[in-house]
């Protein structure tokens, strides 16, 4: 499934807070940038049509939504596309860039080491 940048931003909010209404999502987005409520509601309607979110309940005229689509189902194709476009399909330069250029603390490095250790087990 393909999501626009704004749709992805709204999905990130649903994944973070789980159940939310259009007014709640609009209020959060307004903290970052000026956008009309109708624009946010249109994005939510599109996400519902794409089966990315579903109606969970309503209170009066306010409808609450839950995310249906999982993060990983969105991230994987986006990351693969990014690797193809920026790193010519090679993931090693991306990993090297993250290790060399990103601000990693000890906890981050230990996490990455654990991921690599598990990945090595899968290969053997």
Residues 10 and 59 in one domain: yes
Task: Please report, for residues 51, 102, 115, the alpha-carbon distance to residue 15 in angstroms, rounded to integers and kept in the order given.
Answer: 14, 24, 23
CATH, residue 39: 1.10.10.10
**Does residue 12 form part of some domain?**
yes
**Does residue 61 form part of some domain?**
yes
93's tokens: 């330069």
Judge if pTM exceeds 0.85: no
Domains in the chain, number: 2
Predicted pLDDT at 89: 95
Residue 20: beta bridge partners? Answer: 65
Q: Residue 44 is part of which domain span?
A: 5-67
Mean pLDDT of 85-102: 93
5: left (phi over 0), alpha (psi -120 to 50) or beta: alpha
Residues 57 and 110 in one domain: no
Q: Looking at the predicted structure, is the pLDDT value of residue 124 above 80?
A: no
Rg (CA), the chain: 18
Mean pLDDT of 92-112: 93
Average pLDDT, the chain: 94
């Amino acid at each position: 499934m393909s999501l626009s940048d704004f749709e992805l931003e709204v999905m990130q909010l649903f994944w973070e807070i789980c159940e939310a209404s259009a007014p709640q999502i609009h209020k959060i987005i307004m903290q970052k940038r000026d956008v009309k409520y109708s624009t946010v509601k249109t994005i939510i309607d599109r996400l519902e049509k794409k089966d990315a979110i579903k109606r969970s309940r309503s209170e009066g005229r306010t409808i609450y939504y839950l995310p249906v689509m999982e993060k990983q189902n969105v991230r994987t194709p986006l990351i693969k596309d990014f690797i193809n476009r920026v790193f010519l399909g090679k993931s090693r330069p991306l990993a090297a860039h993250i290790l060399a250029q990103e601000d990693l603390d000890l906890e981050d490095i230990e996490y990455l080491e654990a991921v690599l250790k598990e990945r090595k087990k899968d290969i053997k």
